[in-house]
Amino acid sequence: MTRAILLGSGNVAVHLARALGAAEGISLVQRYARGNSNAELFDPSVPLTSDLGALLEAEIYIIAIKDDQIPAFAENLASFHGLVVHTSGSVAMQQLGPVRRKGVLYPIQSFSARRALDFTGVPVAIEAEKPEDLALLKAFASTISDRVYELASAQRKMLHLAAVFANNFSNHMFAQAEKICAENDISFKLLGPLMEETVDKALDMGPKEAQTGPARRDDKAVVHRQMDLLEGDLKILYKTLSDSISSQFNQ
């Protein structure tokens, strides 16, 4: 049994705790959290502490706290002999500073505490300073996910940036679609199958191949006609996106 300790209480911590609780060969021996948030979403049989001085010895410590708090928090774990990993896409492994055995376990997903999600399908990017720790981390991550990949900090940072486009920015496009629907008394749900097919196509054919629409065809008449229907921020977005698509396809 690999003894693991989880530090955190946010969205990632909730899902990791659940996945680790169900994993073979892993014993979640303790959880650390400063406060009481999401308490009802964690298994009460896992001992909880808010006292860093009461942390047990374990083979793996998993830090699942806010990105910008990771470097300062890691100092509290400098004395431990176990492998210490954080779970952030954008924080370099070396930000774990004084920690003796450093690593990263980054689950590439957008977690919500209250949404069920099958962790075995979540791709996990791992990194460790020492080869033996990488092997340990790989075995550990493989108990919760079927998709474990090694990725250095520099690559992970760019993957995280790609995820901003794939998640934050695409969602913002959905939000604009919803806004247009709401303003015109149209149910946003009408776009559901189209949105699902957009993702399926992008993954099957690749998004460049899957691109369609007036900007793709460089159909300036339709682009201008549609732009005239919009104003303010929506118009700026429409123009910027259309220009970008046109320039990438019609040069």
Which parts of 72-101 interact with its own copies (CB under 8 A)? 90
Kindly tell me which of 56 and 195 has the beta carbon lying closer to its own copies. Answer: 195
Cα 177-180-182 angle, rounded to 5 deg: 105
Q: Is 113 in the site for its own copies (CB under 8 A)?
A: no
User: Does residue number 235 form part of the binding site for its own copies (CB under 8 A)?
Assistant: no
166 binds its own copies (CB under 8 A): yes
29, 41, 113, 230: which one binds its own copies (CB under 8 A): 230
With contacts defined by CB under 8 A, name the span among 35-43, 47-55, 80-88, 194-202 that binds its own copies.
Answer: 194-202
Q: How many CB atoms are closer than 10 A to CB 180?
A: 15
Q: Which stretch binds its own copies (CB under 8 A): 1-9, 16-24, 26-34, 120-128?
A: 120-128
Q: How would DSSP label each residue in the chain? A: -EEEEEE--SHHHHHHHHHHHHSTTEEEEEEE-SS-TTGGGS-TTS-EES-GGGPPP-SEEEE-S-GGGHHHHHGGGTT--SEEEE--SSS-GGGGTT-SEEEEEEE-S---TTS---GGGS-EEEEESSHHHHHHHHHHHHTT-S-EEE--HHHHHHHHHHHIIIIIIHHHHHHHHHHHHHHTT--GGGGHHHHHHHHHHHHHH-HHHH--STTTTT-HHHHHHHHTT--HHHHHHHHHHHHHHHHHH--
> Taking the alpha carbons of 185, 187, 193, 198 in that order, is the dihedral positive or negative?
positive
Q: Report, in Å, the least distance between residue 34 CB and its own copies.
A: 20
Binding of residue 157 to its own copies (CB under 8 A): yes
188 binds its own copies (CB under 8 A): yes
- Does residue 10 belong to the site contacting its own copies (CB under 8 A)? no
Minimum gap (Å) between residue 248 Cβ and its own copies: 7
Cβ closest to its own copies, residue 49 vs residue 90: 90
Give the footprint of its own copies on residues 26-45 (CB under 8 A): none
Using CB under 8 A as the binding rule, whether residue 236 contacts its own copies is answered as yes
Is residue 146 part of the contact set for its own copies (CB under 8 A)? no
Binding of its own copies at residue 172 (CB under 8 A)?
A: yes
Q: Kindly state whether residue 142 participates in binding its own copies, applying the rule CB under 8 A.
A: no
Q: Which of 36, 50, 69, 247 binds its own copies (CB under 8 A)?
A: 247
